[in-house]
Structures are given as structure tokens and as C-alpha cells.
């Protein structure tokens, strides 16, 4: 396994992490026993970053990860979980970064994860109804008591990031980033307050923060396995992504087709190319890559075993240039 090191995080971090959203059962092909095997296999292959959130499966993903890491495995990894998305009995979510909410969320996460500390505690989405000062004060409190080690921001505008940085140390950022979503303005139907390539990357580079891109395979689109009209089961949460439906999907699918032709030419799988492209960005610390099977995890790992050449990177840039701002 390859590792990267940034100033703001003491540990070296594997360039491939495991995204645990599917552990919550909201994707096809996810079950608890399989998810636990994925975690153990990842650790055996040198992966040491596991990214999760309370809202993934409404607590289930954290619970599954906690079971998988119980015992001696916990000390070998960095757990990155989140706070700020609260749900009700109908599973409707609201953004809440108030002191009262975060104090409850951290204790709930620790219980589900069966641990007494979280390595990287990330604010999942902005909450513009809570003063940043209030959020900072509770983060300081739970860091002082040892419940969290590092603080990360996910999906924040760089203006807000710098406001946070003026009050408290920010160790990492997380943002949507892949070959076809470089400066996109939305995730599913949620507006984004940042442009990853133009705004987030310069900030993490300047301040030596860790950067964890999520959705590196565009929720599976960059595996090349999708059909021209999509192919999700009725319960699959990806049905809610407007980019994977209608005219927008057709445009993205054209990009995938061009990338598949390139992949065939260099005789490499498209999913490995997509992860490789991200990994070779200096600003990218660890890629949050989901895996619904051991085979898929192994494919993710294989992307670390070779490099795209400069010529190949230039050719990819020509293919994906039309997608830089959509």
C-alpha cells in the first residue's frame, strides 16, 4: 500500500480509504457479514482510513464498522466519522451543528463504533442557522476531553473554512471530486458551496490539510458497468441522483464512453484509471472509495500498483475538459 503524509495529520494515511456508506444497507449488494469481511481485508492490505457517518443507514453503518474494528484492529486504523445531519422517524434530515446536537452525536457515534475516541471528526454539511462560534466551542470541548483527535470540514465553502481556521485548527477537508465532477455545483440534488478543483485544492495545498475526495467513481458510473439508461434496483439510493437520470446522465455517459475507449487503448480497467487519476493529484491524501465486495476492494487496491504516464494524463485531460464545470 502507498501512503501520504500531510502536516496537519501526524499519521501516514493509505492513499485508498474505505467509504462505509454502503455498510448502511442503502445500496445494492450490501450486508453486514460482507461489510465486516471488507474491513478486515482492507486492514490486511494496509488500508488504515475508514470514512463513515451517523446518517449512513441511520446509524447502521457506524454500528457495522464498530463490530468490524472491535478489539485489536481499532488501534491500527483512523476512523473518520461526521456530525451535523440529524434525522427523524421518517428519515428526513436537517442540518444541525449546534452545541447540544454535537454533544449528543459524538456520544452516539462512540457507542455505535464501540470506541472511546474518533480520529477525524468531520462536520458533514454546513448549518447556516448555527453561529460558527458555537460549533467551534463544542469542537474544542470534545477535543479537550479526548473524544476526537482531529477536526475536518466536509462540503464547506472556502470562505467558511477560513472562518473556522481563524478560530480552531482544521486538519482535513472532504469534497466531491472525480474525473467528471471537478467543479460541479451539486451533489444529488444538494447545491454545493464550493468548486473542488478551483477552490478546495488550493486551500488544502496551501495549509497542508489532508484532503479526502468522495464519490471517486461517480457512484459507480466510472466503473464502466452502467447501461445507457441506468441499471439500479428500485431501493438503490442512487436513483435519487438527478445526474444519473435523463439528459444529464446521457451527457455524462458520453464522457464515460470516451474514457472507456481510452482504457481499452492502454489496457487498464476504467475504475483503476479513475482512482489513479485522483491519487496522482498532489493534494489528494486518501480517496474515499466504497466497496460492496472483496473483489471490488481488491480492484481499488490494484489502482495503487501502477501510475498513469504524463502523456496519458494529458490525454485524459482532453477527454474530460468538457466536464470541468458541469
231-246 confidence digits (pLDDT tens): 677 767 777 788 988 8
Question: What's the whole-number mean pLDDT along residues 184-213?
Answer: 97
Model confidence at 28: pLDDT above 80: no
Domain for residue 324, yes or no?
Answer: no
Q: Cβ(262)–Cβ(315) under 8 Å? A: yes
Strand partners, 172: 152, 210
CB count within 10 Å of CB 247 equals: 8
Q: Which of 95, 19, 116 is nearest to 64 (CA)?
A: 19
Query: What CATH number has the domain bearing residue 77?
Result: 3.20.20.100
Q: From CA 243, how far away is CA 231, in angstroms rounded?
A: 14
Q: Cβ(19)–Cβ(289) under 8 Å? A: yes
Number of domains in the chain: 1
Model confidence at 30: pLDDT above 90: no
Domain for residue 255, yes or no?
Answer: no
Domain for residue 57, yes or no?
Answer: yes
Domain for residue 321, yes or no?
Answer: no
Domain for residue 230, yes or no?
Answer: no
Question: What's the whole-number mean pLDDT along residues 73-86?
Answer: 98
Q: Is 220 left (phi over 0), alpha (psi -120 to 50) or beta?
A: left
| H or E stretch at 182 | none
Domain for residue 236, yes or no?
Answer: no
CB count within 10 Å of CB 25 equals: 17
**What average pLDDT does the structure give for the chain?**
95
Q: Cβ(217)–Cβ(211) under 8 Å? A: no
Domain for residue 242, yes or no?
Answer: no
Task: Report pLDDT for 27.
Answer: 58
Domain of residue 62: give its range. Answer: 3-220+271-308
Q: Cβ(147)–Cβ(118) under 8 Å? A: yes
Q: From CA 218, how far away is CA 158, in angstroms rounded?
A: 23
177 a catalytic residue: no
Model confidence at 32: pLDDT above 90: yes
3-state secondary structure 206-259: HHCCEEEEECCCHHHHHHCCCCCCCCCCCCCHHHHCHHHCHHHHHHHHHHHHHH
Catalytic residue among 3, 56, 194, 252: 56
Percent share of the chain, pLDDT over 70 = 97
Q: Which three cell numbers stand for residue 173?
A: 477537508
Domain for residue 261, yes or no?
Answer: no
Amino acid at each position: 500500500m502507498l501512503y501520504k503524509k500531510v502536516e496537519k495529520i501526524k499519521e501516514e494515511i493509505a492513499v485508498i480509504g474505505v467509504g462505509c456508506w454502503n455498510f448502511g444497507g442503502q445500496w445494492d449488494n450490501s450486508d453486514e457479514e460482507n461489510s465486516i469481511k471488507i474491513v478486515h481485508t482492507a486492514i490486511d492490505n494496509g488500508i488504515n482510513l475508514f470514512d463513515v457517518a451517523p446518517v449512513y443507514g441511520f446509524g447502521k453503518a457506524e454500528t457495522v464498522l464498530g463490530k468490524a474494528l472491535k478489539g485489536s484492529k481499532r488501534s491500527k486504523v483512523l476512523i473518520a466519522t461526521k456530525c451535523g445531519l440529524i434525522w427523524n422517524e421518517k428519515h428526513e434530515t436537517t442540518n444541525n451543528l449546534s452545541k447540544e446536537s454535537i454533544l449528543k452525536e459524538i456520544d452516539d457515534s462512540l457507542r455505535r463504533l464501540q470506541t472511546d475516541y474518533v480520529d477525524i471528526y468531520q462536520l458533514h454539511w454546513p448549518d447556516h442557522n448555527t453561529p460558527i462560534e458555537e460549533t467551534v466551542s463544542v469542537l474544542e470541548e470534545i477535543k479537550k476531553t479526548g473524544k476526537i483527535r482531529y477536526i475536518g470540514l466536509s462540503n464547506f465553502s472556502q470562505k467558511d473554512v477560513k472562518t473556522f481556521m481563524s478560530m480552531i485548527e482544521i486538519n482535513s477537508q472532504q469534497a466531491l471530486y472525480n474525473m467528471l465532477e471537478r467543479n460541479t455545483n451539486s451533489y444529488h440534488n444538494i447545491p454545493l458551496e464550493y468548486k473542488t478543483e478551483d477552490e478546495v485544492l488550493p486551500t488544502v495545498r496551501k495549509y497542508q490539510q489532508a484532503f479526502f475526495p468522495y464519490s471517486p467513481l461517480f457512484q459507480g458510473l466510472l466503473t464502466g458497468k452502467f447501461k445507457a439508461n441506468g441499471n439500479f434496483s428500485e431501493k438503490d439510493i442512487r436513483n435519487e441522483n438527478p445526474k444519473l437520470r435523463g439528459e444529464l446522465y446521457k451527457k455524462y455517459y458520453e464522457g464515460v464512453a470516451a474514457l472507456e475507449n481510452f482504457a481499452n487503448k492502454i489496457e487498464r480497467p476504467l475504475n483503476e484509471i479513475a482512482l489513479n487519476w485522483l491519487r496522482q493529484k498532489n493534494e489528494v491524501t486518501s480517496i474515499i472509495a466504497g466497496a460492496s465486495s472483496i473483489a471490488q476492494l481488491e480492484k481499488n487496491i490494484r489502482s495503487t500498483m501502477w501510475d498513469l504516464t504524463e502523456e496519458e494524463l494529458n490525454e485524459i485531460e482532453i477527454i474530460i475538459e468538457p466536464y470541468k464545470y458541469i
